Amino acid sequence: IAGITQAPTSQILAAGRRMTLRCTQDMRHNAMYWYRQDLGLGLRLIHYSNTAGTTGKGEVPDGYSVSRANTDDFPLTLASAVPSQTSVYFCASSDGTGANSPLHFGNGTRLTVT
Amino acid sequence: GQNIDQPTEMTATEGAIVQINCTYQTSGFNGLFWYQQHAGEAPTFLSYNVLDGLEEKGRFSSFLSRSKGYSYLLLKELQMKDSASYLCAGMDSNYQLIWGAGTKLIIKP
């Protein structure tokens, strides 16, 4: 079934540890995104990539990094986790970057930093 | 600044109609999206409006007024499975999405 796969589903991480959240899509979408979702707040964009080989910073990029070596994969790395990074992380993709390009979301990674 | 406002929570009865409102302020405007998100799941796309008026898709309709910076999602013949959060998102002139915090819709029998 075509779609976006995120791993792990959930993780408890000690503060200061490094963690990579994986995201893979098989829809050949050019654009990919990482969002975090926190209670009472709208989805906030962390990083995005409009096409393989390029990345950009979103609204809340500090403490996170991404890479886009190919079309399918868009991993998100927390270099040294802090408790404020406890959140649900969603990876998404879209066929284009213009208007009327709906996002397709993965099922999310629930991360707890202790 | 850019902002999306929508009610935090609404309650409706099975079989009834409910309207979820959204007001937006964006730097430029390239459309308004609605997504549905069931608890513990991913958001899924419902509708996109860029021109004024009503777009109907089965039981769900979405309305846009650009002059008022206003949209609503109308759900008819409510079913228990419609219990979910509904996310409103405006797209600005840079094609970036600005998200509301979502409206949790509770359906009662």
Q: What's the CA gap between B35 and B89, in Å, rounded?
A: 8
- Please report which confidence band the pLDDT of residue A56 belongs to, taking 50, 70 and 90 as the band edges: very high
Percent of chain A's residues with pLDDT above 90: 91
- Whether the pLDDT of residue A78 is over 80: the answer is yes
Name the closest residue on chain B to residue A91, using Cα atoms: B42
Q: What's the CA gap between B46 and A16, in Å, rounded?
A: 39
Contact B101 A90 (CB under 8 A): no
- pLDDT at position B73 is 98
Please write the tens of the pLDDT for every residue from B53-88: 999 999 999 999 999 999 999 999 999 999 999 999
- pLDDT at position B1 is 80
- Please report which confidence band the pLDDT of residue A107 belongs to, taking 50, 70 and 90 as the band edges: very high
Contacts of B45 in chain A (CB under 8 A): 102-104
- Please report which confidence band the pLDDT of residue A1 belongs to, taking 50, 70 and 90 as the band edges: low
- Whether the pLDDT of residue A29 is over 70: the answer is yes
- For A98, which of B87, B95, B99 is closest by C-beta distance? B95
- Whether the pLDDT of residue A99 is over 80: the answer is no
Name the closest residue on chain B to residue A45, using Cα atoms: B97
Q: Which residue has the higher pLDDT, A2 or A109?
A: A109
- pLDDT at position A97 is 76
Q: Report, as an integer, the average pLDDT of B3-12.
A: 97
User: Helix/strand/coil (H, E, C) string of chain B?
Assistant: CCEEECCCEEEEECCCCEEEEEEEECCCCCCEEEEEECCCCCCEEEEEECCCEEEEECCEEEEEECCCCEEEEEECCCCHHHCEEEEEEEECCCCCEEECCCEEEEEEC
Cis peptide before B43 (omega within 30 of 0): no
Burial class (CB within 10 angstroms; exposed 0-12, middle 13-18, buried 19+) of A42: buried
Q: Report, as an integer, the average pLDDT of B28-34.
A: 95
Contact A42 B99 (CB under 8 A): yes
